[in-house]
Chain A
């Protein structure tokens, strides 16, 4: 078991997500916000401004005209997309070269984060759900807890592996049994430390157990990310020490009401976008594809 104080210390040691990500997410949810408010948050952040222009002008977005200012980028990308770009551009540099315990390189972990973000969005469209706010950001950040407890997981690696393979526990359950906490609970604390919006914290907390989410939690979004996470792992997008040792919540599946063929079609349609986005925002460390 790890003491709460040790975990909090780890969280404090993590590089923080730029404050702009949380501020932009809050603006996006505020109906009174205007483009100028977004511009006022982005412009003072030179790294984000530069990244935004680089990304908006990349072949991926295929825009006909070139954006030269933050305002133009906002106009061309739209507010929602700008916030997604900010989240991805802010999150990538926070990743270490390798996540201890989970035995995964930065790029593979990154690919998984992007895959879950993109698949969550595509799934919501496929099942005709009105896209919950911050779907992309929540999908992208669902595993942040892994950044904080990797070292503890590494210390208990043998025990976790034995419970997983010997007793058929899911990775997250084995993690909880060995450490007293798991990456979802710790992830919620990271979300608080980074001042992330409540819905993103809910997704991080409940993405392995959507049916246990508290009544006020963003249940639709939690379920979407839960299913997208399982799909990403099934497809091998970001394999780590947890491998395929996970369960899919039957009620989340049922509620989403998606047939296997359509799930496969979503997977097929998303692969290129996942690869492109992962490449575009690739973390500065780690092995590139």
Chain B
């Protein structure tokens, strides 16, 4: 069994049922976790920003930095493992915000809005989510079982 750590602006996938995929300290960033219960594969992205148009060059170097370039890449990478879109169970966590911030720093909200739009357009259903609030979250995806946990403020929940 190995633990795959997903850095900020990174994605990891695995088809080893023994693996655990984890990402730490999701502030306004969002983690999308996908699991295929038939193929027993899983993947996670930890994206930082909503739209690649703010830095097209960065998007080429690091597509997983942005929702609009990273999320499609996560799904494509899963398809390469032999997964099919209709089998994938999709969960979402993160998108936190600082206190009272409705403007400049509301990166979390923008990150979430673009994700909803993209999923709506491509017909992806979010099976479970834990988003928003002044929380920093750590998420884990167990590749074999598809079990997904979110820990924050000393508590862990199942997603």
Contacts and interface: CB of A to CB of B under 8 A. Distances in A.
**B partners with A:** yes
Interface string B84-101: 000000000000111111
Nearest to A165: B153
Interface string A261-289: 11111011101100000000000000001
Nearest to B26: A236
Interface stretch (A55-63, A132-140, A213-221, A246-254): A246-254
A246 B104 contact: no
A248 B98 CA distance: 8
A261 B54 contact: yes
B29 A236 contact: yes
A264 B65 CA distance: 11
A230 B62 CA distance: 23
Q: Please indicate which of the listed interface residues B24, B66, B99, B100 has the most CB atoms of chain A within 10 Å of its own CB.
A: B99
A198 interface: no
Contact of B27 (A235, A268, A271): A235
A66 B54 CA distance: 36
B49 A268 contact: yes
A247 B102 CA distance: 11
A259 B104 CA distance: 7
A245 B28 contact: no
A169 B7 CA distance: 30
A73 B100 CA distance: 46
Interface in B1-39: 7-9, 24-29
B49 A267 contact: yes
Contacts of B8: 235-237, 271
B49 to A, nearest CB: 5
Q: How large is the interface on B (under 10, 10 to 19, 20 to 34, 35 or more residues)?
A: 35 or more
B44 interface: no
B48 interface: yes
Residue among B29, B66, B96, B134 having the largest count of chain A Cβ atoms under 10 Å = B134
B85 to A, nearest CB: 28
A245 B99 contact: yes
By Cβ-Cβ distance, the 7 closest A-B pairs, closest first, are A239-B25, A236-B27, A236-B25, A244-B134, A268-B55, A239-B136, A265-B54
Interface of A: 108, 161, 165, 168, 170, 230-231, 233-239, 243-248, 253, 258-265, 267-269, 271-272, 289
25 contacts: A161-B153, A233-B98, A234-B96, A235-B107, A239-B24, A239-B136, A243-B153, A244-B99, A246-B98, A248-B98, A253-B104, A260-B103, A260-B104, A260-B107, A260-B110, A263-B107, A264-B49, A264-B54, A265-B54, A267-B48, A268-B58, A269-B58, A271-B9, A271-B62, A289-B7
Given A168-B99, A260-B103, A269-B55, 15 more contacts: A170-B99, A230-B105, A234-B27, A234-B107, A235-B8, A239-B27, A239-B136, A244-B134, A248-B98, A248-B104, A260-B107, A261-B54, A263-B105, A269-B58, A271-B48
Interface of B: 7-9, 24-29, 48-51, 54-55, 58, 62, 65-66, 96-101, 103-108, 110, 134-136, 153
